[in-house]
Amino acid sequence: MLLPNAMAADAACLLQIGSETMKPTARDYSLIGRNAELAVASGLAAAEWYQTDIPRSTIKALMKRSDGPAVRDTLIWFALLAGFGAGAWYFWPSAWSIPFFLAYGVFYASAADSRWHECGHGTAFKTRWMNDVVYHMASFMILREPTIWRWSHTRHHTDTIIVGRDREIFGRRPIDFAKLILSIVPVWNVCKAVYNIASHATGRLTAEEKTFIPEMEWSKVYRDARIWLLIYAGIIALAVVLQSWMPVLLFGPVPKIYGHWLAYYLGVLQHAGLAEDVLDHRLNSRTVYMNPVLRFAYWNMNYHIEHHMFPMVPYHKLPELHEIMKADTPPPDKSTFHAYRDILPVLWRQSKDPDYFLIRELPPTAKPYRSDLHGGPVTVNVAQAS
């Protein structure tokens, strides 16, 4: 089978630099490890990516900003949070509070994930300060320190699923299924995030963080971490004053533990099981059709190929962009169930065979996967699921 060079290299874990051929080894997802050097040396870092041809006038119209849709959706979101939160508080400690907590948690920790994302791109609202306010609020709700994750996500868009460059790769191979399942209720991840916040508040960054955050931004990381710790202290103080667990259960890190599952369920779909180290988002990202309720919670991030190829198109224009470019992309999965039916067997196999990944067929109308974007064609044996 003819495959792009980098993809082939990834599949075989063989990478040729000059005349030196490196021996196959395990992937190193660290940003300061072996694969980080290889990605730069092989031209995979900050590279040119495939982009579907769309006339300038069309993409310009799609990129145009407006406040209306995001203001409407944010007000609805706040109303849902207030309503479910009030219900949980009212019925506490009876069992009737449980459904309210579950709904509140989903809108707190899962819907905030997509708000964090869209406002981080600065595309949700036309008005800059609105993006910033919602970004900081959502960052707090999902424990993503705003400066660190702004830069991390910038890197994710520069080097999407490039091993050693992208910090946001889900499902690192070989897949650790126990870890994946434990992350549905992310007690450990939340503890780790709080530890990191405390560490940043003392004025420390890890060596890895320093690779993608410019030095001039470090002081913002420390400042934000200290502010968050103060807010946590305020939440605990309020709980003590009120002699109630409710402030702790409704604000700060705890709702992420019981409300993150939907963001996780939807987030897995973005890239899981697909290729690493390729320069075509059609090979490493996935578009999945979802119902309007999920699309509201997820702010249309189900159109993920479209988002990665044209990240400045606001979430409310992604369905329109999808219609324009769908002849050039793999057919979307019809539902989340349909997508998981494909993904789970691939992840299972990747737990044993880290070189295995899914290549999805393009429609006849699409431009083929371009081997020249990945450094020239080579022939290798690569597992293909379909």
Partner 1 sequence: MSNELTWHQACNSDDVDLEDVLGVTIAGNRVAIYRSPDDRFYATEGLCTHEQVKLEDGLVMDDIIECPKHNGRFNYRTGEARGAPACINLRTMPTKVEDGVVYVGLANAG
Residues that bind partner 1 (CB under 8 A): 46, 56, 59-60, 63-65, 121-123, 126, 147, 150-151, 154, 157-158, 214, 216-217, 310-312
CB of 318 to partner 1, least distance (A): 15
Pairing of strands 16-17, 384-385: unpaired
* Residue type at 287 in one-letter notation: T
CB of 51 to partner 1, least distance (A): 9
**Ramachandran region of residue 336, left (φ > 0), alpha (ψ -120 to 50) or beta?**
alpha
Tokens representing residue 223 in the block: 């400042």
Note whether 349 and 173 are within 8 A (CB).
Answer: no
Among residues 54 and 385, whose Cβ is nearest to partner 1?
54
DSSP string over 342-368: HHHHHHHHHTT-TT-EE-PPPPTTSPP
Backbone angles phi, psi at 110, to 5 degrees: -95, -50
Among residues 97 and 114, whose Cβ is nearest to partner 1?
114
CB of 312 to partner 1, least distance (A): 5
Among residues 175 and 305, whose Cβ is nearest to partner 1?
305
Among residues 77 and 149, whose Cβ is nearest to partner 1?
149
Among residues 217 and 372, whose Cβ is nearest to partner 1?
217
CB of 276 to partner 1, least distance (A): 20
Cis peptide before 368 (omega within 30 of 0): no
Distance from C-alpha of 365 to C-alpha of 216, rounded to nearest angstrom: 46
Residues 6+ apart with CB under 8 A from 105: 255, 258, 259, 260
What angle do the packed helices 68-91 and 111-121 form, to 10 degrees? 150
CB of 109 to partner 1, least distance (A): 24
Among residues 166 and 355, whose Cβ is nearest to partner 1?
166
Kindly tell me the sign of the dihedral angle through the C-alpha atoms of 130, 131, 134, 136: negative
CB of 121 to partner 1, least distance (A): 6
CB of 172 to partner 1, least distance (A): 24
Distance from C-alpha of 144 to C-alpha of 158, rounded to nearest angstrom: 19
Among residues 129 and 337, whose Cβ is nearest to partner 1?
129
What angle do the packed helices 146-158 and 128-141 form, to 10 degrees? 100
Cis peptide before 93 (omega within 30 of 0): yes
DSSP string over 207-226: HHHHHHS-GGGHHHHHHHHH
Residues 6+ apart with CB under 8 A from 344: none
Among residues 260 and 281, whose Cβ is nearest to partner 1?
281
CB of 63 to partner 1, least distance (A): 5
Among residues 46 and 233, whose Cβ is nearest to partner 1?
46
145 CB neighbour count, 10 Å cutoff: 20
CB of 122 to partner 1, least distance (A): 4
Tokens representing residue 4 in the block: 């792009």
Among residues 135 and 261, whose Cβ is nearest to partner 1?
135
CB of 320 to partner 1, least distance (A): 16
Tokens representing residue 122 in the block: 């600065």
Tokens representing residue 195 in the block: 């530890």
